[in-house]
Structure 1
Amino acid sequence: MVLGIVNIKIINLINIYKIRLIVIGSGYLIFLIKKKKYLIDTNEKLLIFSYLFYFGMFLLSFIVHRGNASELDNPSRLILLLPLLLLFYQYQIRFKVLLYSIPIGSVIVGLVALYDRFYLNVPRAFSPRIMAIQGGDIAMSLGMFSLVIALYFLSKKEYRFTVFCLIATLFGMLGSFLSTARGGWIGSPFIIGFILFTYRKTLSKRFFIIIGSLMIISVVSISLIPKTQVISRINLAKNEMVAYFEKDRANTSLGARFEMWKSAVLMAKEKPILGWGQQGVIEKRKQQAKEKIIHPTVARFDHAHNQYLDDLSKRGVLGLLALLGILLMPLWFFIKSSKSHNLEIRSVVILGIVHISSVMFYNLSQGFFTHNSGNIFYFFLIIVFYAMIKTLNLKSENN
């Protein structure tokens, strides 16, 4: 009871500060435009356009399908976050703040997961506060960010911070494991491989062998602890796939997902351009279940547990293109910025690429953007990393 009240107060406090940031940013945007103190470059225009197009598709779907106003709640947040890009340009975030805050956040996430799982004895970490899958995915991202920062500190020969960030990496991964959210585990080997590959020229082979061995030993050790449920969740996934494809059993976690994906694809074939809309998808899925096209178990779900297929079924091909736009447009900017020889800029670039790539993996098995936590986490960090690169570029040019 007390914990629930504290959580509500924390959430309300976060919302108050978020609203204040939006109001301040919007006011400052108007001021800068009037004073002509801020020129929007091509990259920013493309980023802003992708955000506006994404929101515009929700608005178009709302109008065409006569949807509920609540459908515009989540996508509207990314529009309200855009003024922060200009605010961070004028009141710059210090690079060191980014370096220290992310690993600390990763450690805190891991400690919260341990508290949830071993003290509160909840089946899945983070579930007392937010959806466990979302919490687990965000924890994994923080762990991967911490690994990038660890390698930055190692390049600078700051070994104490390197060790701390490696510990933070394990805490973030631990948070993901304790959430039992398997979607966050799928992409992690690829993300880790990419991070190590990008630093291959600045770090010795001996280090890669040591760090690789330590991570493998740590992950295996965590997996073997019964309460983490890692091994049991992996075995369960294997059994559910066999049950679905060989025995046609869809009343399992993976089986239901496969049925929802089938449902979304069938809907997209019928209405490929603008989709069915939020309410239309719900009604159509019930109809499919009634006609025994899909298993009755999935009739109650309002999204496809795959962000790409969900957007395709609800907002059609245009909606899918809008989704890909908010992922690929900033990704293109980060990749283009990776040519910089400045170590700080390259580190933020890698953080941005890791951030987008991770979310793209999460979207395969989860509607990451159907939740407020996913929207704020993704779009806010894109703006932070983008503004940081622009700030560091300006400092580099002035030196």
Structure 2
Amino acid sequence: MNNNSIKLADPKQAVIGVLIFLFPFLSLITPFGIGLASFTFLIAALFFLKPGLGALRRHWREVRWVVIFFAFNFFYTVACFALRDQSLGDVEKPARMLFAVSAMMLVMAVKPERKSLWWGVIGGAFVAMLLVGYQRVVLGEDRPGGLLNAITFGDIALSLGLIALAAMIDVRSVRKVFWPAIGALAGLAASTLTGTRGGWLGLVLCGLLFIQYSHVLNNRRVRAVVAFTFAFMAATYFVPETGVRERVRQGILDITTYFSGGSAFTNVGVRLELWKAAGILIEDAAVLGRGEEGYRKVLEPLVREGELDPVVLEMPHFHNEALQAMVTGGVVGFAAWFGMILAPFAFFTRAMRVKNASKQEFATALAGILLVTSYFGYGLTEVIFWSVKGAMFYALMVFLLMGFYLNAKEANASDSSRHSREGGNP
């Protein structure tokens, strides 16, 4: 039996591999997939606490800023809960996002196969496409979203598609590129079927990243698949059945109507009015913000005085991640949110610049960059962290990809050291 067979036969790796596969696979087709994954990773990590903590200490210098900003977000929320009249539920999401570090510790301790994550991403994107395709075509729903909000569903599906694109770097033969390519197209198609426009901004930013890091795409066929995928997304504009062209035209009409003094009660008009309201609120409480509920008490008199449209009182958030953080948490809250974006981005960007890195390192690092960049793009017109599922998908995927990257880096260093010793023998 060879070493690979022994590795595959390890029951611990097999079990953890199944858990990792189920996380992206169930994320969009069940109401419990993401929540179940967060608890199972945490519980499983407790069984491997000693090696997990050892791996965390070993790589602390590399991961510390990511962990610190997730912890800072949690402790600042706890402080706000203690000082303001906020519900205990406000603390749950930051706590679970911080505890997602257990996924990274678990991966580093057990060292499961990366393919468990890649196959889960591919399968999750494909079944998501089937689900919203059924809702759109058979049930005739205009904005299908599976069991989630259409925007959240579309954004997560797009992230799955982008991660599948990065997985193509990790395949061992050109023929196997087919499967992650299918996952990428399925994720993009699922997002398109939801009619979500905010995801397009994330896609544009990710397209620029693919251009910047095109040198890591390991062959011409992979580059061709990436180019075809983005061309496919662009082509949906010219297919009336997708509704993309109509959504673009409606968005332009909404903007024109709003700035000509018309109704703000349109998809884009509501966002513009909310951003106007956020600007007013930020001026009065710039340092610590007003909390999740406190800002509404200020909005009500502004609406009565006619300074703002009543529609702002009907929305649960400000449809912009940065503005939401500034209004509710001030500059400190903004730093907490932006840190959870910037720190992982810096981690994966540094990983992409490492010389003599393996394709496995490149694949996991690129997947991480695309995830973080896409979420930043979503946050320009949506508060995806408002949703527990949206926030937990991000946190779990960031830490999983970090763990798999660090495993690949250690394996590459070990192989290089072994080859060096063997090369030096007579």
Normalised TM-score (structure 1):
0.89
Cα distance, 1:332 vs. partner? 1.0
Match of 2:413 in 1: 397
Out of 229, 233, 247, the position equivalent to 1:233 is 247
Q: Deviations over 1:210-230 (max 9, x none)?
A: 8636742x3355334444211
Rounded to whole Å, the distance in 2 between the matches of 1:389 and 1:285 is 46
| Unaligned segments of structure 2, at least 5 residues | 1-26, 416-426
Q: Secondary structure at the match of 1:72?
A: helix
2:122·2:160 contact (CA, 8 Å) conserved in 1?
Answer: yes
Q: In terms of mean alpha carbon deviation, does 279-288 or 257-266 score higher?
A: 279-288
Identity %: 21
The match for 2:420 is none
> Do 2:70 and 2:97's aligned partners in 1 also have CA atoms closer than 8 Å?
yes
Work out the CA distance in 2 between the residues paired with 1:284 and 1:360. 28
Verify the 8 A CA contact 2:320 2:381 in the aligned structure 1: yes
Q: In the alignment, which residue of structure 2 is the partner of 1:178? A: 193
Distance 2:225 2:101 in 1: 42
Alignment-mate amino acid for residue 385 of structure 1: L
Matched residues, number: 388
Q: Structure 1 47/187 Cα, relative in aligned 2: closer, same or farther at 3 Å?
A: closer
Pairs within 5 Å for 1:112-123: 112-123=131-142
Q: CA 1:359/1:206 → structure 2, altered by over 3 Å: closer, same or farther? A: closer
Cα distance, 1:152 vs. partner? Answer: 4.6
Structure 1 stretch 343-352 or stretch 40-49: which is displaced more? Answer: 40-49
Residues 95-110 of structure 1 correspond to what in structure 2 (within 5 A)? 95-110=114-129
- Partner Cα separation in structure 2 for residue 15 and residue 207 of structure 1: 34
The answer to whether structure 1 residue 325 and structure 2 residue 343 are counterparts is no
Are positions 1:344 and 2:364 aligned together? no
Residue 368 of structure 2 aligns to a residue whose secondary structure is helix
Residues 227-266 of structure 1 show CA distances to partners (whole Å, capped at 9, x for unaligned) of 4211110100010011111234311111110111111121
The answer to whether structure 1 residue 145 and structure 2 residue 163 are counterparts is yes
Alignment of 1:203-352 (within 5 A): 212=227, 215-216=230-231, 218-219=232-233, 221-340=235-354, 341=356, 342-352=358-368
Q: Relative to structure 1, is the Cα distance of residues 26 and 172 closer, same or farther in structure 2, using a 3 angstrom cutoff?
A: same
Instruction: Give the Å deviation of 1:19.
Output: 2.3
Match of 1:11 among 22, 25, 31: 31
Amino acid in the other structure paired with 1:349: A
Per the alignment, do residues 37 and 79 of structure 1 end up closer, same or farther by CA in structure 2, a change over 3 Å counting?
A: closer
Deviations 1:180-233, CA, capped at 9 Å, x for gaps: 1100012313312322431247567797578636742x3355334444211110
In the superposition, relative to structure 1, how do residues 86 and 214 fare at CA in structure 2: closer, same or farther (>3 Å)?
A: closer
Counterpart for residue 391 of structure 2:
375
Distance across 2 between alignment mates of 1:71 and 1:308: 18
- In structure 2, the partner of 1:70 is 89
Of stretches 359-368 and 87-96 in structure 1, the one that deviates more from structure 2 is 87-96
SS of the equivalent of 2:308 reads: coil
Give the partner amino acid of 1:393: K
Alignment equivalent of 1:21, drawn from 28, 41, 44: 41
Residue 332 of structure 1 aligns to which amino acid in structure 2?
A
**Partner residue of 2:180 out of 160, 165, 173:** 165
Q: 3-state DSSP class of the match of 1:93?
A: coil
Contact 2:29 2:147 in 1 (8 A): no
Q: Does 1:385 align with 2:405?
A: no
Decide whether the 8 Å contact of 1:125 with 1:175 is kept in 2: no
Measured on the aligned residues, the alpha-carbon RMSD in Å equals 2.7
C-alpha contact 2:34 2:392 (8 A) present in aligned 1 = no
Matched, 1:82 2:101: yes
Aligned residue identity for 2:360: E
Counterpart amino acid of 1:240? D
In the other structure, the counterpart of 1:188 is 203
Tell me how far 1:321 sits from its aligned partner.
0.5
- Distance, in Å, in 2 between the alignment partners of 1:85 and 1:370 is 23
- Structure 1 counterpart SS, 2:260: helix
Code of the aligned partner of 2:130: L
Contact 1:196 1:208 in 2 (8 A): no
1:22 shift after superposition: 1.6
